[in-house]
Amino acid sequence: MRSLVSKSLRATLLTLTLVLVVAAASPITSLSAQAPGEISIVCENETAPGIYNNAVSLVTQDGYIGIPDGNTVYMWGYALDVDIDLVAPGVQYGFQHPGPTLCFTEGQAVTITLTNLGFSQLPSLTDAVSIIFPGQTGVTHDDGTPGLFTGEADSGGGTVTYSFTASLPGTFIYGSGTDPQKQVQMGLFGAIIVRPTLGPNFLYNWTSTQFNPANDYMMLLSEIDPDLHWAVEQGLPYDITLFHPRYWLINGRSFPDTIAPNDAEWLPTQPYGALLHIEPFDAASSAFNYSAVRFLNVGMRNHPMHPHGDHIQVVGRDGRPLQGPLGEDLSYAEFGPVIGAGQTKDTLYNWEEIQLGPSGSLGLPTDIFEALNQFLLRPRDQNIMWGEWFSGSPYLGQTTDRPTGVTAQGECGEYYQIWHSHALHEAANYESGFGGMITLERIDPPGGCPP
């Protein structure tokens, strides 16, 4: 149902959305042609394949992110400082949302130095900042100013250095421990991934958690109340008890931006995509084609995610493997993974063709019009509702001609499935549906789309 009241507004939004969708989908290429880092997790402190810098310098910054309904939101963020000497307080430097994804290898001695460069968009702000590391053990800090949660970096270039040993493999959140009800909402958070000694293609020191390192994904969930951000931007008071989110994000983006590749140039401050791009599970293949999907929730609400396609297998929670004291397998499968506030879940996922069988085995011709006998009127292009991502065939790797005038996002008959919050009002950008906490899963035919 669509109301007539705001038809022109809706038309504008729809146009905007379509433009973004077209732009978002077009750079995605086949698996074989996919550049490293185009999708899946980017470890910002990786200096060589599998080698992670254990001395990380972060700075504070601020900037704006875009929402597909046309809005922009003022945010704060951690930014990677590759050369602190080049940076002075008040200089815009590398703002990104969310903060840089940091990876370590189990057992690495980690130091993270935070320098409070203030906020260049609003230099009048004098907030101290800090970082806490939930799930890590033995975190210490030196210098800095004592704070309630941890040591803090004062405004005007103050620094604080945190140290810990990355002793536990898994997926973790880091975020502000200063005025956190405001600062975390403003965007001071990010993800830490600790790879086990068993190997970077395992989630834990547990052989059952092996995955294909080309398919290592994160879904960092957050929510935004634009009133809070407006109040901070305008120097106005904000009552956190009235917190009322209007936007719901994955990896700092709202659908359809979530399916754009990493570092999409039209999303300059939101570098992390959330598209899953896989091939079907093949038991006979020597390639190990489970994907790792790491959920993190930095928000204040639980988010009941729903992966279409198949169940996920939850093998770890909050950076702890789901194993009993004797190594018993306590992992479980679900199609309704709820990610609690501050929680992480490490999961394995694959998709296997078990529904249709070989082409024709259900008696379905490849032409969906003939196969399903659903559109009785001809010409067939009239009065149909054809999804842009639909190949036209039930079968993977097959296509049919799209109806005239339908935008086609597909490449070679690949499948697209949706993953989204099943608190369905969160699958929206404000009041505009098919947005928000949604991403897509792309399943290519075996071997990927031809180049």
Residues of the shown chain interacting with other proteins in the complex, contacts defined by CB under 8 A? 1, 3-6, 244-246, 302, 304, 306, 308-311, 328, 330, 332-336, 338, 351-357, 362, 364, 368, 372-377, 383-391, 393-396, 415-418, 421-428, 430-431, 433-434, 440
Residues in the chain, how many?
Answer: 451
Instruction: Give CA–CA dist 83/213, Å, rounded.
Output: 30
Q: Which is nearer to other proteins, 163 or 417 (CB)?
A: 417
Q: How far is the CB of 182 from other proteins (least distance, A)?
A: 21
Which residue's CB is nearer to other proteins, number 42 or number 250? 250
Per the listing, tokens 């490449």 go with: 411
Per the DSSP assignment, residues forming a β-bridge with 73 are: 65
What burial class does residue 62 get, using C-beta atoms within 10 Å of its C-beta: 0-12 exposed, 13-18 middle, 19+ buried? buried
Q: How many CB atoms lie within 10 A of CB 8?
A: 9
Structure tokens at 199: 């190997």
Question: Minimum distance from CB of 443 to other proteins (Å)?
Answer: 9
Which is closer to other proteins, CB of 35 or CB of 384?
A: 384
d(C-alpha 344, C-alpha 303), whole Å: 11
Contacts of 392 (CB under 8 A, 6+ apart): 367, 368, 398, 399, 400, 401, 402, 413
CB nearer other proteins, residue 86 or residue 326: 326
Whichever of 4 and 236 has its CB closer to other proteins, that residue is: 4
Q: Please say which residue, 48 or 376, places its beta carbon nearer to other proteins.
A: 376
Instruction: Judge contact between 183 and 164, C-beta under 8 A.
Output: no
Residues 67 and 73: their CA atoms lie apart, in Å, by 8
Nearest alpha carbon to residue 170 among 333, 313, 336, 292: 292
Q: Which is nearer to other proteins, 199 or 357 (CB)?
A: 357
Q: At its nearest, how many Å lie between other proteins and the CB of residue 160? A: 37
Is residue 257 within 8 A of residue 16, CB to CB? The reply is no
> Which of residues 97 and 303 has its CB atom nearest to other proteins in the complex?
303
Q: For the residues of 274-310, what is the DSSP string, one character each?
A: --EEE----TT-SS--PEEEEEEE-SSS-EEEEESSS
Question: How far apart, in Å, are the Cα atoms of 354 and each of 50, 201, 314, 357, 374?
Answer: 35, 26, 22, 6, 24
149: which 2 tokens? 């949660």
What is the nearest approach in angstroms of other proteins to the Cβ of residue 163?
38
> What is the distance between the alpha carbons of residues 65 and 88, in angstroms, rounded to a whole number?
23
Instruction: Output the smallest distance, CB 125 to other proteins, in A.
Output: 28
Q: How far is the CB of 374 from other proteins (least distance, A)?
A: 4
Distance between CA atoms of residues 347 and 213, nearest Å: 14
CB of 383 to other proteins, least distance (A): 5
Q: Which is nearer to other proteins, 84 or 418 (CB)?
A: 418
Residue 269: CB minimum distance to other proteins, A: 23
Rounded Cα–Cα distance for residues 176 and 190 (Å): 10
User: Nearest approach, Cβ of 425 to other proteins (angstroms)?
Assistant: 4
Structural tokens at position 441: 């899963």
User: In the numeric block, which tokens belong to residue 206?
Assistant: 């547990």
SS3 343: coil
Q: How far is the CB of 342 from other proteins (least distance, A)?
A: 16
Answer for the pair 415, 279: CB distance below 8 angstroms, yes or no. no
Report the DSSP pairing between strands 291-297 and 332-334.
unpaired
Q: In the complex, what is the shortest distance from the CB of residue 335 to other proteins, in angstroms, rounded to a whole number? A: 4
Say which amino acid occupies 233. E
If the CB atoms of residues 4 and 48 are measured against other proteins, the closer one turns out to be: 4
Q: Whole-angstrom distance between the N-terminal and C-terminal Cα of the chain?
A: 41
- Would you say 155 or 429 has its CB closer to other proteins? 429
